[in-house]
Structure formats: C-alpha cells, structure tokens
Amino acid sequence: GNNQFRSEIIRNWVNRECLYQQAVKEGILKSNEYQKIIEDSKKELAAALMLKKFYEDKETSIDDKSLETYFVSHNDQFRLNNEAYLLNRINFTNEDKAIQFRMTVIESNWNKASNVFKKDASKIILNVMYDGVEIHPAGLLRIVEELDPKEISIVVNTSENNYSIVQLLEKYPKGTIPPLDIIKDKVSSMYISNRKEMQFKDYLEGLYSQNDIE
C-alpha cells in the first residue's frame, strides 16, 4: 500500500519488460548461452520441486520412547554453550498494571496471577528456557542472574512503555544438559530432521540403483 514501494515495483517491472523485449529483438533467446542457462535452470527447479515433494510426502511420527532414545544417544548435542535460565515472564505496557501483577503473584502464584492479568498483559511466557544471550536488555539479564529459583524480579522497564516481570524457575550452568521435558521441542526438531535426512539418503541410494550414473 506504500506509494513509494508501489512505484519502485512498477519501475522494476517496466525496466525488466523493456530489456526482455529488446533481448528478443536481438536474438538473445536463441543464443547457445541462453539455451544452456535455461536447461540448467530447468534441472535445478525440477530437482528442488522433487525435493519439496519428497519431504511433504514423508510424515515422521514421534513416540516418547524413540525420542528419549535419541536424546540419550545424542545428548552431547544438547550440552549448553552458555548458562541458561528457565523462566516465566510477563510484559505490560502500563507500569501500574505491572506493579499490581507483581503484588498479586507474590500473594498467590504465577499461573493464577497471569490468568487474572492476561487481558492487560502484552505478552505472557510460561516455563520457557532461555540461553543467557537471548535475554534482552542486558539489565534484565543481570537481574535474572541474581535471582534464586522461584524468586520473582522487580518490575523492569525494558524499553519505552514496556515493563517486564520474570520468575526464575531453574538455572542450568554452562556445559550441562537440560532435562528432556524442558528442551523437548528442540530435541523433537532435531530428531525429525535426522530421520528425514536418513530417509532422503535411502531414497537417493534407490535412485542410484535405478539409473546409469556416468
């Protein structure tokens, strides 16, 4: 909807069309160089679409036992490169609401308080692990580093009209391996990727056996 962007798109389209029409007039489309590029492009595009189809047709189901076996046999891949923190976090655009939330959560618990204030909060994050380098701004990270497990932070003004409160649930030192239930999404993603890679390798070996490779 931006007029400047629209004008730029139209200008680029017109320029490309003018150059294409001139290329047709000068016989570039019949040149050997053009034809070779077109043939190579066809192969690249067809191979990419075939690869896309292969992965779309493959459904990788995950059961807890297989996932746990994968986690145990590949646990070094999940060793932390930095200190990590399991957090609850809530953000508000109104400082008074943030203060009220903190008072409420101290008197009750995080889940109850977040349910009470869910319409006022701009973001609610529950039970998520963060690498230290993912926590911004630096002032918030310094506060998290000083918290004890289950402790709730002060209200932190993290940016203009943004106020955060965090609760530290657990710290995981650098070099440790977090429990599977904490990093299950990451482990599942790597497990699926690994399974698809192996399936694709088997698929290619099948293609090798069906074709003459010079």
The tens digit of pLDDT for each residue in 116-134 reads 999 999 999 999 999 999 9
Find out whether 185 and 49 touch, Cβ atoms under 8 Å. Answer: no
pLDDT of amino acid 126 = 95
Look at residue 214 and tell me whether its pLDDT is greater than 70: no
Residue given tokens 């807890």 in the structure block: 64
pLDDT band, very low/low/confident/very high, at 61 (cuts 50, 70, 90): confident
pLDDT for the residue numbered 1: 62
The reported pTM is 0.71
User: How many angstroms separate the CA atoms of 130 and 41, rounded?
Assistant: 42
Q: What is the pLDDT of residue 163?
A: 97
Instruction: State the pLDDT at residue 112.
Output: 95
Over the chain, what is the mean pLDDT? Answer: 93
Rounded-to-integer distance, Cα 9 and Cα 132, Å:
42
